[in-house]
Every structure is written in structure tokens, then in C-alpha cells.
Amino acid sequence: MQARWLQHPAAKPVAFTLCLLPVAWLACAALADQLGANPAEALIRATGDWTLRALCLVLAVTPLRVLTRTPQLARFRRMLGLFVFFYGVLHLLCYAWFDMGFDVPDIARDIAKRPFILVGTLALLLLALLAATSFHRAIQALGARRWQALHRSVYAVAVLAVLHFWWMRAGKNDFAEVAVYAAVLAALLGWRAWRRLLHKK
């Protein structure tokens, strides 16, 4: 039953709509002035949180597919990966607009001056590369082996994303939420590393 539902023509549109719900909720909350005393900071933080959540979700696809023996889940992986990039771009735009007023020279100086912003920018650049090469033509142009090697850089994205979050919270000495994301991503990446070691034996 589960596999049949995942293959249904409506499955992808439903998943797409669900992935858009966070940004729709944020837009409605902003219009209704329900984002608290500092709406700009709330939007920057929320879009960053949803980027991390989407990253955890896309990295969970393969373990779930294998453990539940549901290969149909793989058809959602590319869409979820693009949503990671989408929320990452929103996070950058919120920072560039609300914190920096789209002043490009100031943004460049801020990136160079603050390590956590530099790390986040590197993660987004890697995500942009993965998004640009997520289509079938890119696989054909690069070849399957090189394409897979390139897309393993999602591991680096995960490390950079957690480091970005940790560095941002370090000033306030608040690491509880960071620890949750770090543990989830470490478990997901650890499972993949374990599987690769098994296949090499």
C-alpha cells in the first residue's frame, strides 16, 4: 500500500506542496505581524532552520529507502535536495536584505570578517553546484561515476551547515538546538559511511 501511494501521480505534487508550507506560513506570519518583536531576525533564523531540516530530510531518504525496503522513495530525493537549496537561498536573501540592505560591498566585507557567515556561504555555494547538476543532462555530461563523486559533497554541506549554526550560537553560549541537528546529521552520515565500508569488504 505504501509503495503504491508513493508511485501515485499525485505523490510528488503533494510532497512539493508540503515542502512549501513553511515558507507560506512564514509569509502569512510576516503579513499578520506575528513574528515577534524582531521579525527580520525571526525570518533569518526560521529560513536557516528550515534549510537544516530539509537537509536532514534529504539525507534520510536513502536510509529510509533501504531500511523500509521502499525503493520508491528515491524518486523524491532530487526534489527534496532542490528544496534544501531553495531554503538556503531564502536564508541568504533574508540576511542580505534585512541585515545588510542588499549592500554588496558590505555583504562581501561581512562574509570575510565573520567566520560563521563565510562557512554558511561556502555551504550555499556547494548547494548551488549540486542543484545545477541535479538533472539528467548533467549526469550524462559528467558520467555517472564523476556525478556521484561530486554529489558526495553533500556530506561537506552537512558539516559546514552545522558548523555555521554552531558558530552563530557560540556567542550566546546556546548549543542545545545545534546538538540536536549535529546528532541527527552525524547519525545519517555515519549510516552512509558504515554502508560504504560494508560494500568494500
The pLDDT assigned to 80 comes to 96
The pLDDT assigned to 200 comes to 64
Burial state string for 75-95 with b = 16 or more CB within 10 A and e = fewer than 16: ebbeebbbbbbbbbbbbbebb
How far apart are alpha carbons 83 and 138 in whole angstroms? Answer: 18
The pLDDT assigned to 6 comes to 83
How far apart are alpha carbons 151 and 48 in whole angstroms? Answer: 21
Which three cell numbers mark 160? 559546514
The pLDDT assigned to 50 comes to 97
How many structural domains does the chain have?
A: 1
pLDDT in tens, the chain (201 residues): 566 788 888 999 999 999 999 999 999 999 999 999 999 999 999 999 999 999 999 999 999 999 888 989 999 999 999 999 999 999 999 999 999 999 999 999 999 999 999 999 999 999 999 999 998 888 889 898 899 889 989 999 999 999 999 998 887 777 888 999 999 999 998 898 888 787 765
How far apart are alpha carbons 49 and 44 in whole angstroms? Answer: 9
Helices 11-31 and 77-94, axial angle in degrees (round to 10): 10
Q: What are phi and psi of 97, to 5 degrees?
A: -85, -60
Q: CB neighbours (10 Å) of residue 29?
A: 16
The pLDDT assigned to 174 comes to 75
- In which residue are the cell numbers 524518486 written? 75
Q: Is-contact 129 150, C-beta < 8 A? A: yes
Residue 81: domain span: 2-200
The pLDDT assigned to 197 comes to 81
Q: Output the DSSP codes for 112-159.
A: HH-HHHHHHHHHHHHHHHHHHT-SHHHHHHH-HHHHHHHHTTHHHHHH
> What's the pTM?
0.93
The pLDDT assigned to 175 comes to 81
